[in-house]
Every structure is written in structure tokens, then in C-alpha cells.
A and B are shown apart, each in its own frame.
Chain A
Amino acid sequence: MTPSVDDVAELEPFREGVFDLDPFGLRGVRCAVGHYTFPVRTFCGTCKSELVEPVPLSGGGVLHTFTVVRQAPPGVSVPYLLGYVDLPEGCRLMARIEPRPGVEPAIGAPVDLVPAIFSDGGSSADRLGFAFAIRNEHPDPKERHDA
């Protein structure tokens, strides 16, 4: 299951500057023209302008495409879903996709940013990372109660 931020707050982020913790969200930059770039760079990824300011990015996006990875090098447990997510700001980024039981992943599916544990199978400590979870558009009242 998706951990809450409180569950994972003691973990070190897998990399500096990729996301903020409170509230949990990805960080990017916006240039004067209005292009958004992820991750944070010192310039705009689209127009290369150096006049950029840091901004929080949307927590929701759309699944552009995905795959189920069933074979990977040692230290990576399979299977897992990997996808490209389009953010409304115009960024496309790669991320783990957390499946939702009973919902087939599909191109165009809405997804939401969630904290995730990045593990290499135990050779180094678990780290705090991010993933996108397939949104439950038709929540089951029982599931809502459990949550």
C-alpha cells in the first residue's frame, strides 16, 4: 500500500531537491515565458532561459503510457508498473505507477503523486522517493471507510 508522508518521514530522500515534504510535492522551475521544467535546473529546459524561479508542480497528472516490467537487474524486485506521466504544466516525467486493485491501468488514466519507498533490495538503506497512484474515480464507499 502507499505509505503516508508520516510513515516515511524518517527516510532520507533518494536525491536532494526533487520534492518537498510539507506538503509532499515535486519541485520544478518556471521561466518568464511560462515553460515548466522538471527536475529543478538552473535554466529552462524548453527555451534555455536562465531567468527561472522554483515552483511546486501539480500533484495530479495523466498517464501517457506505461509498461509492466517483469525482468530487471539484480536488486530490483519485479513485477512493477513504470510509466510516463504528463503534468498539466506541460512536463512529462518517468515514475513508478502504483496500481489500484480492480482498475486496469490505461493510457489517459488520471494519476496522483504519492510518496514511495525506493529500495535496492537491501544492499543500501531504503530511501524516500515518489510515485504516481492510479486515481480511484469511482470510490467504493467501503474503501473510503477503510481509509
Chain B
Amino acid sequence: MLDPAHVAGVGMIRFGKYPATVTLERMAARAATAALADAGATADQIDAIIVGHVFGGPVAGQRIAVELGLDGKPIANVENYCASGATAIREAWVALSAGLHDVVLVIGVEKMTDRIFGGVRPDPNDLDAAVGYVMAAGHGMSARRYMSDHGATRAQIAAVAVKNHAHSVNNPYAQYQVPISLEQVLQARPIAEPLGLLDCSPISDGAAAILLCNRAGLARLGVSGAVPRVLGCGLVSGSLRSGDEPLNAEDISRRAAQEAWRLTGVGPDDIDLVEMHDCFTIAEIVRLEGLGLVPVGEGARWTELGHTGIRGKLPVNPSGGLLSRGHPVGATGVAQACELTWQLRGTASGRQVAGARTGLAYCKGGTVSGTDGGSVTTLVMQA
């Protein structure tokens, strides 16, 4: 088993809509500076920078590093669509465990509101994109089939949005910090039926950063005492599916969970809270089921009963998730790691999950025609 990576510091900016004058580089530098301040570290103590982004253009990481005075360091740009930030964390964990670097700054960043309109879709070369696929459509089809297969109601699926918005009332970094009602979700403008506007995560700008170390790095930074650790991060890609299995089989999530348990020695019963990639309401439900954390077909009912609330038996998205924290796609995986860090430190104030010791963060990025997804990451962190 690889050694864990230790969290020296985290930082992020509030997700939301920033004017075009607030550049990607500026947002990323602000998040990185906050992470350094949180760690009590300085830029010259960093060995390498890994940046997750999708729409940031060529060498965005190098443009950001120059803003931070980190020019000349090894820099890698990582793209795995919405799992880009989480994949960047995985790459840092591997490099630290191997001893290649001792202190790595990971940044997830995205500037979307000035370049993405009407939603995100696969690359135009993808066959599904050519026939008219947009991400919301996939989840609309998933929701309709889930309701038909499991007798779930539209309101039970909408309850995911109500819950996650209620959580982020206490998250100062969230794009939305006001509660919404079930009626508001059900009455919202339809986007991809049966899903409406409030079933969809927003198009957002934002940045998040995490400073990770191995033991030598902790000594360099003078960090003493216990800090949250990245035990490991699973990564799988979508596999070609045959037509005779359920649409919501979520085999990709099942395989990603297996990877998480294999890499970390942690099991599903150890998980105290989940940061889940709820790009759409239904996605939170089927992915929890695919991970094996909720029985198949029960996720919608669990949500309605409050089992996935902050005080429920499996707290999911205390941050508000993508639905309410916002979803600047490349930043999301790092923002999830920030949230897990605060939860495991016990400093999440009004959204703190009591007794949080082990957390799982799940990201899913992109789609590929004929498969059950693009990439899925399963990050396991422990106090």
C-alpha cells in the first residue's frame, strides 16, 4: 500500500460568477495563497505544482505558477473533465509516496461563466454528442428509468437538491447559501425532463487548492501533530457496456469503490461522510448505490427520509455539493478535498458532521459513447 499524503493546508475562493476581469490565473492564485497561509508555508517550500482544469487552455498551470512566483518548478496540467481536480490530487499522492517530491501544491480551477453557455457536453467527436447528447440529457434519462425501475417519485429525487441547499446555508464558500423548498425544485423550468433547473449544478467560476506532503515534507514545513491524510485515490474509466444490463447499473462506481478499498484498506462501513459528485440530483442517488454505500433502489427513499442529511446515518454533501456549492468543473475535486479536510479537523462549524473520522470524495468526469462514463475518482481521507 502506498504511503498516505498529509494535508498541510487547504484554501479556496467562494464559487460563483465572477466578472471576466477576475481571471482564471487570479482565482487560482488566491486559492493557492489561502492554502499556503493555512499551512503556514511559503512558496519556496513547494517542490511541484499539479493543476486540474478543463477549459483553462494550454499550460494554465504554468500561467498560474508565474503569478505565485513558482516559475521554474515542475508543473503538470491534468484533464479528466469533472474529475480533473481529483485526478491531480491522485497524481500528487503517487509522487509524494514515491519520494519524487516532498511538498506538492494541487490546484483545481475553472473559469466557465464567460465561455460555457447552455450546459456542458462531450467532445464533438463523440458519437453521442453527434446525435444531440448534453450532460443534462443523460441524467434526465437516468432519472426516468430509475423512477420506472424502482418506483421512486419525482419528489424523492428533487429532495437531493433541497437537502444539499440546506447544507450550504452554513458554507461560506458555496455559490448558493439560501435554502430552497421542494416546491421550488418541482416547479423550476424544465431542462431535461423529468429534471428541472434546480436538479442541475450551476455553471460556475472557482478555484481550490491543497498543499500535500510526505513525511519529509511535513518536517520541512515544520508541521507537527496529526493532520488529515489522503489515504489514497481510486481511478477507473468507463467500460463498454452491453445492452442487457440496467441503465443505472453504475458498474463504473462499483469498480471505483473497489479501487478505493483496495488502495487504502478502508471499507464501506468505515465511511463517516461522503462528498458526492451531485452534478444532477439523480446522480447522487445512483452513484451512492453504485459505490455500495446505499442499497440499490433505496437511494431516493433514503434521501426523502433524511438518511443522507448532516445528521443522518450517511451524511452526504455537507458542503452543499455541486448543486449548491457550485461546479467549476476542474475545481470540484479539490473543493471536495478542502471540505473533507475541514470536516476531519472538526472545523466545519454549522455544517460539521459529528465524529467525522473517515471521508470519501467521489468525482465523475465526462462521458464516452457506449461506456458507462469517462473517469471516476474515489478519494479516501482520514483524520
Contact = CB atoms under 8 A, between A and B. Distances in A.
Interface in B360-375: 369-370
A67 B130 contact: no
Contacts of A67: 137, 140-141, 144, 192-195
Interface stretch (B21-29, B238-246, B292-300, B304-312): B238-246
A65 B189 CA distance: 21
B17 interface: no
Interface string A1-24: 000000000000011001000000
Contacts of A110: none
Interface in A59-99: 64-74, 76, 80, 82-84, 86-87, 90-96
Given A67-B193, A68-B192, A45 B130 contact: no
Nearest to B190: A70
Contacts of B142: 65
Contacts of A35: 242
A82 B131 contact: yes
Nearest to A48: B240
A25 interface: no
Contacts of B241: 45, 92
A94 B243 contact: no
Nearest to B244: A90
Interface in B178-220: 189-195
Interface stretch (B85-93, B114-122, B337-345): B114-122
A65 B137 contact: no
A92 B246 CA distance: 11
A107 interface: yes
A129 interface: yes
Report, as a range, how many residues of chain A touch the other chain: 35 or more
B106 interface: no
Report, as a range, how many residues of chain B touch the other chain: 35 or more
A11 B194 CA distance: 34
A74 B118 contact: yes
Contacts, number: 109
Given A65-B141, A67-B140, A92-B243, A129 B130 contact: yes
Contacts of A71: 118-119, 134, 136, 191-192
Nearest to B140: A67
Contact of B141 (A15, A37, A83): A83
Interface string B122-151: 000001101111101100111011001000
B193 A70 contact: yes
Contacts of B132: 69, 72, 76, 80, 82, 96
B20 interface: no
B131 A74 contact: no
A66 B192 contact: no
Contacts of A86: 243
A110 to B, nearest CB: 16
A107 B144 contact: yes
Given A67-B141, A87-B243, A72 B119 contact: yes
A18 B189 CA distance: 35
Contacts of A74: 117-118
**Most A-side CB within 10 Å, residue of B134, B141, B189, B243:** B243
**Most B-side CB within 10 Å, residue of A14, A18, A66:** A66
Given A14-B130, A69-B192, A94-B131, A45 B242 contact: yes
A123 to B, nearest CB: 12
Contacts of B144: 65-67, 107
A73 B117 contact: yes
A124 B328 CA distance: 30
B134 A46 contact: no
Contacts of B244: 90
B59 interface: no
Contacts of B100: none
B247 interface: yes
B190 A68 contact: yes
**Most A-side CB within 10 Å, residue of B137, B141, B241:** B137
B130 A15 contact: yes
Contacts of B194: 67
Contacts of B134: 69, 71-73, 76
A46 B239 CA distance: 10
A69 B131 contact: no
Contacts of A107: 144-145, 148
Contact of A82 (B116, B119, B137, B190): B137
B119 A73 contact: yes
6 contacts: A65-B247, A69-B140, A70-B193, A71-B119, A76-B132, A90-B243
Given A70-B191, A94-B369, A96-B132, 10 more contacts: A67-B193, A69-B191, A70-B192, A73-B118, A73-B119, A82-B141, A90-B244, A94-B131, A96-B131, A130-B131
